[in-house]
Structure 1
């Protein structure tokens, strides 16, 4: 199991970091992923690569954590007040926020697999080979899917 951990720790950590954008949470969930893998290793059938199996466990744990955090999310008045921009920056902040919202809307128009490839590539800085392995596809598929996703985002931005 130690060899498995050493071989796949970085892959699982990067995958989780892509989704969470939180290094501490990613590390915690990576540890939990390997714990769950150890508990269920006997039931692993070998239908897919080990990295894919581990990333599926990690994905499940991330969604579980995300739902838990979403339920218990609450901001205090002080936290909200501290995050407000100064008066002179409000216009710039609003414009930047509107462009972010527009980008996220365009991003949501992509199909799930394309969205995941683009997300892993841009936020996780994963190679096309790593993305292909995680999604149980090949490097060429990941490269083409990313390229087509970028084209769709650009076309949607021109409308």
Structure 2
């Protein structure tokens, strides 16, 4: 990590798309990505190397995004169409839930979940992250991410079929 430019080239795109999956605004995602790398370079000595650099950067990016929301008194607003276009067809949650109800109802039900469940589902379906990466971003274990995703999916299914 001696060369900042190489570090940015190798991880910048992943951080940018991670942030874009939350903000759905290319300019804002670029600004937050730059802030992420600025903060990362300021605290590079704190990086212990116990996770991939991209996961460490996504953790920083997530906190910068939360700070942006708090500082700007913004509620987490995400266009359903923008999220839905990023959902891979291969996810079981997509095929089972979206077929039963339209996507608007799915996201209304998703918003009723607690914050950690909602965030795990968003990270899984919109950022295409593994459970290990989600666990690292959330400061939890891979197993925690799997269980949280499973429980969220179960609650969504119950809400749809009741």
Q: Which band: TM-score by shorter chain?
A: 0.5 to 0.7
When you count helix as a share of all residues, which structure comes out higher?
1
| Residue 17 of structure 1: aligned partner | 20
Relative contact order, higher structure (CA 8 A, sep 6+)? 1
State the partner residue of 1:122.
125
Tell me, which stretches of 5 or more residues in structure 2 are unaligned? 75-102
Q: Quote the offset at 1:3 in angstroms.
A: 3.4
| Partner residue, 1:32 | 35
Deviations 1:77-123 (A, max 9, x none): xxxxxxxxxxxxxxxxxxxxxx83x5455324434332211011223
**TM-score normalised by length of structure 2:** 0.61
TM-score if structure 1 supplies the norm length? Answer: 0.62
Aligned to 1:46: 48
Contact 1:15 1:124 in 2 (8 A): yes
Q: 1:115 to 1:15 in 2, by over 3 A?
A: same
Q: How many residues align?
A: 131
Contact 1:51–1:134 (CA under 8 A) maintained in structure 2: no
Aligned to 1:81: none
If you compute each CA radius of gyration, which structure gives the higher value, 1 or 2?
1
Q: Report if aligned partners of 2:18, 2:127 keep a CA contact under 8 Å in 1.
A: yes
The question of whether the paired residues in 1 share the 8 Å contact of 2:15 and 2:61 is answered with yes
1:151 aligns with 2:147: no
Q: 1 CA distance for matches of 2:70 and 2:137? A: 23
2:109 is matched with which residue: 81, 106, 109? 106
SS at match of 1:70: coil
CA distance in structure 2 between the aligned counterparts of 1:116 and 1:62, rounded to whole angstroms: 13
Helix, strand or coil at the partner of 1:29: helix
Give 1:145 shift. Answer: 3.3
